[in-house]
Amino acid sequence: MQYRQLGKTGLSVSDIGFGAWGIGGGAWVGAQDDESLRALERFIELGGTFIDTARGYGRSEELVGKVLRRHAGEGLVVATKVPPKNGEWPARRGVPVERTFPGAHIRASLEESLRASGLEAFDVLQFHVWSDEWVGQGDWLETIESLKDEGKIRFFGVSINDYEPEQGVALVRTGTVDTVQVIYNVFHQQPQEELLPAAQEHGVGVIVRVALDEGGLTGRITADTRFDPEDFRSHYFGGGRTVELEQHVTALTTELGIDADELPDRALRFVLAHPAVSTVIAGMRTVRNVERNAATSDRGPLPADELGILERHRWERDWYIEPGKTSRFE
Read off the pLDDT of residues 212-246 as tens digits, 9 standing for 90 and up: 999 999 999 999 999 988 888 999 999 999 999 99
What pLDDT, on the 0 to 100 scale, is given for residue 28? 61
pTM over 0.95: yes
What pLDDT, on the 0 to 100 scale, is given for residue 26? 64
What pLDDT, on the 0 to 100 scale, is given for residue 30? 67
Residue 190 pLDDT greater than 90, yes or no = yes
Read off the pLDDT of residues 108-127 as tens digits, 9 standing for 90 and up: 999 999 999 999 999 999 99
Domains and CATH numbers, the chain: 3-218+271-302 (3.20.20.100)
**Closest to 24 measured CA to CA, from 62, 51, 52:** 62
CB 315 within 8 A of CB 187: yes
What pLDDT, on the 0 to 100 scale, is given for residue 328? 82
CB 99 within 8 A of CB 86: yes
Range 252-271 average pLDDT: 97
Average pLDDT, the chain: 95
What pLDDT, on the 0 to 100 scale, is given for residue 27? 64
Q: 10 Å Cβ neighbour count for 38?
A: 15
Under 8 Å CB-to-CB from 319, ≥6 apart: which residues?
Answer: 214, 236, 237, 241
Strands (DSSP E) found in 204-326: 205-209, 277-283
Range 278-303 average pLDDT: 94
What pLDDT, on the 0 to 100 scale, is given for residue 285? 86
